[in-house]
Amino acid sequence: MNRPLVYVIIINWNGREHLDACFSSLLAGDYPNAQFLLLDNASTDGSVAYVRERFGHDARVCWLACEENHGWSGGNNLGIQAALEADAAYVFLLNNDIAIAPDAISKLVEQAEATPDCACLAPKMLLYNTPSVLNSVGLYCSRVGAAWDRGIGCADGPEWDAIVPVIGVCGGAMFIRADVFGRVGLLPEDFVIYLDDLDLCLRMWSFGYRILTCPKAEVRHKFSASMGQEKHARRKYFLNNRNRFRIILRNFPLRHWPQTLFWVALGEVRAVGRALLEGAYWKAGCHVQAWISALGQLSGALRYQWKLQRQGARSLRFWKLIERRRMFCPRIVLPESGWYPPRPHTFRTAAGTMETATLHPMAPTATLEYAPGQQLCLRLVNCLPAHGACVVTVWLDGEQRATWKTQSDAVFRTESLFESPPVEAVQLELRACQCFPAERTGEDMDVGAWFDFNVSEAPNMTTQGNMQHP
């Protein structure tokens, strides 16, 4: 197999705590011809010094310390230019909170070499602490320019292993054929952040390239929904909406602008109306700012589209991939260590009575801390007995210790897993043997099992939060 040079760009801004896991996974990879560039956006936490001291002995590791923060697109563009100067065949854009599987780059190169008309590949991105749940396998883009991760929050399974065309790739792990930049251009730095990855992908489609998923290449992402909260919320909300309009103006086919305007108007009425009903008047203000910005961009966007058309771009090439079932990202709940936020459920008990209790839904896999002296009693509940039994295996240090199964509900004690009480805290791993999909449960997530806890000291289970777009 050909081993072309892959230039991996890890963009970083004050993310020192993530860099050990990221670079350790990269250096443990099996691909022999890769360069790993830390692109540091003027961090003040010692990130560059840490990588230099921790990994600088490896000739594959290098760094570029910027004197100012160039943002996501601007920083990555500096890295892309370095990759092109090094005659790299492929550029792999990575967030600093990503860890890759040992064979991820090999799988990406193998598929890219087999599909020369493909400009970009989307690896299978899994949640870092719950790798049985997807973070992204490509992007969706709707008729109003909104984008969200394909598969986010869903249980990983065979249905996600097919290689399929997607309209875009999440910039957190984006594998790109280097020679396409000379034709389609670089990332749009005026976006600042959000949807700039999609803008690049739409140009790839317009110039006749394909974008495919590469599910054999797995990466894990420390996804956090905390961005955009508190003081950053208004900035994020405005940029997302402003950049939605830029996506439309710069990329959507001119012939479809009339119908696009209808859907945008409908979406804006819904989003602003909901904001006003919720009392979030600042959101309405962000929409107004985004409208004003769009009007200011109109003439420049038309000139930009005409320029691309003269260069051979045809935006109708991606139009069939536009998402038409939704306008905005659906409400998504992500687990923390495999556990979703508790909520009331009604179910039939083993005694035949109906009961309502607050249960903890579990992803296909979850972890549970067990401390010495802790009395932990778990009731496994089956909220959908018509779809089969709830079966959960319990693992400790790679060894299966028990199988818990019920058609209704059953009580299990963790003390029974040990021949003698542990002298220090241990971590149990729970694995569901089947998954109850969201379309059957009415939940916002795919559930592996439901648990009711009775514990003297409650286990540490928190949620990464709910993610909801306008």
- Model pLDDT, residue 272: 95
User: Using CA atoms, how far apart are residues 148 and 126, in angstroms rounded to an integer?
Assistant: 15
468: nearest Cα among 129, 233, 130, 125: 233
User: What are the average pLDDT values for consecutive 10-residue runs of the chain, which has 470 residues?
Assistant: 91 96 98 97 96 96 96 95 98 97 98 97 96 97 96 94 98 98 96 94 98 98 59 86 97 96 96 94 95 95 95 94 93 91 93 94 93 84 93 94 94 85 88 91 89 62 37
Arch. (CATH architecture) of 6-221: Alpha-Beta Complex (3.90)
H or E element: which one contains 395?
Answer: strand 390-396
Give pLDDT, residue 103: 98
- The pLDDT of residue 232: 76
Alpha carbons 240 and 214: distance in angstroms, whole number = 27
Strand partners, 404: 392
What is the per-residue pLDDT for 287?
96
Tokens of 342: 């508790």
The length of the chain is 470
Amino acid identity for residue 212 in this structure: L
Residue 332 has what pLDDT?
A: 87
Angle at 344 (CA atoms; ends 338, 346), nearest 5 degrees:
110
Predicted pLDDT at 230: 52
DSSP per residue over 267-335, as a string? HHHHHHHHHHHHT-HHHHHHHHHHHHHHHHHHHHHHHHHHHHHHTT--THHHHTTSB-S-SSPPPEE--
Question: Cβ(236)–Cβ(224) under 8 Å?
Answer: no
Q: Tokens representing 111?
A: 């598929």
For the 333-467 domain, the top CATH level (class) is: mainly beta
Tell me which DSSP letter residue 257 carries: H
Distance CA 154, CA 160 (A): 10
pLDDT the model gives residue 374: 76
The whole-number pLDDT of residue 54 equals 97
219, HSE (Cβ side, Cα atoms, 13 Å): 38
Given a contact cutoff of 8 angstroms between Cβ atoms, the answer to whether 370 and 425 are in contact is yes
β pairing state of 426-432 and 365-370: antiparallel
Q: Is the whole model's pTM more than 0.75, yes or no?
A: yes
Give the DSSP letter string of 25-87.
Answer: HHHT-S-SSEEEEEEE-S-SSSHHHHHHHHHTTSTTEEEEE-SS--HHHHHHHHHHHHHHHTT
Nearest to 212 by CA among 165, 162, 174: 165
Residue whose C-alpha is closest to residue 365's, from 437, 467, 434, 466: 434
105: its two tokens: 């780059």
Task: List the domain boundaries for the chain.
Answer: 6-221, 234-329, 333-467
Take residue 183 and report the two structure tokens written for it: 């034709």
- Radius of gyration of the chain, Cα coordinates, nearest whole angstrom: 24
- What angle separates helix 16-27 from helix 47-55, to the nearest 10 degrees? 30
Dihedral angle sign, alpha carbons of residues 173, 177, 178, 182? negative
